[in-house]
Amino acid sequence: MYVVEFVRDISRFHKHGLLRRFCALPFMRIEVVVCCGVAIAILLFIFTLSYRGFCFSGGRLLSDSEYFAAAINQIIQRDEEQLISYNQSKISFYIVHVLKYADADEFQRQNPQCCKIVPHNVGDAGPYTSFFQRLFGYAAKIVSITYLVRSTDDTGGQKSTLKAEQFAVTNCGRAWR
């Protein structure tokens, strides 16, 4: 008796095309799940590349020397530098007009061993970068640069002061502080 009713229900589903629709639903759900899974996997792959420093417009990872060059270019374009003077009981900040380096090659000749890659958000030197800045390519590496600031003193003589700075550099080589 139950078998007869089951067969009758199946034939009614088939007659009105409901069986085809009913059976298609699970397959459609699987396709949606697979498509969503593939889209998520692609996004994860892209964000992983970006987090690791991949420059999408250049189609490659930058070398350490390219990160150094970006930070050096920021420094050699400046007309002024802010320096800090430590005395017995006070700290003074002052601005000097710099004697510019001719180019990045001169900067590196005058400041050998100036540059290194340092971990993100370690120490007080900054800049401080967030997880999202790294994820979206705004802070691929942190470059620390120690160099001589060349300036003139009050008498017109040349003076050099050692300064250390850190820059965040984007995936495609733009330095910022």
Condensed to tens digits (0 to 9), the pLDDT of residues 30-47 reads 888 888 889 999 999 999
User: Do residues 121 and 164 both lie within one domain?
Assistant: yes
User: Do residues 13 and 90 both lie within one domain?
Assistant: no
Would strands 115-118 and 91-97 be described as parallel, antiparallel, or unpaired? unpaired
pLDDT above 90 (res 26): no
Report yes or no: 116 and 144 within 8 Å, Cβ to Cβ: yes
User: Do residues 86 and 120 both lie within one domain?
Assistant: yes
Range 10-21 average pLDDT = 52
User: CA-CA distance, 151 to 85, in Å (whole number)?
Assistant: 15
Confidence of residue 19 (pLDDT cuts 50, 70, 90): very low
User: Do residues 103 and 121 both lie within one domain?
Assistant: yes
User: Do residues 81 and 131 both lie within one domain?
Assistant: yes
Q: Which two tokens stand for residue 9?
A: 């229900």
Total domains, the chain: 2
| Residue 56: inside a domain | no
User: Do residues 87 and 172 both lie within one domain?
Assistant: yes
- Predicted TM-score (pTM) of this structure: 0.75
Structure confidence at residue 27 (pLDDT) = 54
User: Do residues 37 and 79 both lie within one domain?
Assistant: no
Structural domain for 157, as ranges: 61-176
Mean of all residue pLDDT scores within the chain: 84
Confidence of residue 173 (pLDDT cuts 50, 70, 90): very high
pLDDT above 90 (res 108): yes
DSSP for the chain, please give it.
-HHHHHHHHHHHHHHTTHHHHHHHHHHHHHHHHHHHHHHHHHHHHHHHHHHTTEETTTTEEPPHHHHHHHHHHHHHT-SEEEEEEE-SS-EEEEEEEB---SSHHHHHHHSTT-EEEE-TT-SSS-----HHHHHTTS-SEEEEEEEEEEEE-TTS-EEEEEEEEEEEE-TTS-EE-
User: Do residues 108 and 148 both lie within one domain?
Assistant: yes
User: Do residues 47 and 65 both lie within one domain?
Assistant: no
| Residue 137: inside a domain | yes
Structure confidence at residue 89 (pLDDT) = 85
pLDDT above 50 (res 54): yes
pLDDT above 90 (res 105): yes
Residue in this structure with the two tokens 């160099």, named with its chain if needed: 147
User: Do residues 75 and 131 both lie within one domain?
Assistant: yes
Structure confidence at residue 71 (pLDDT) = 95
Q: For residue 71, how far is the Cα from the chain centroid?
A: 14
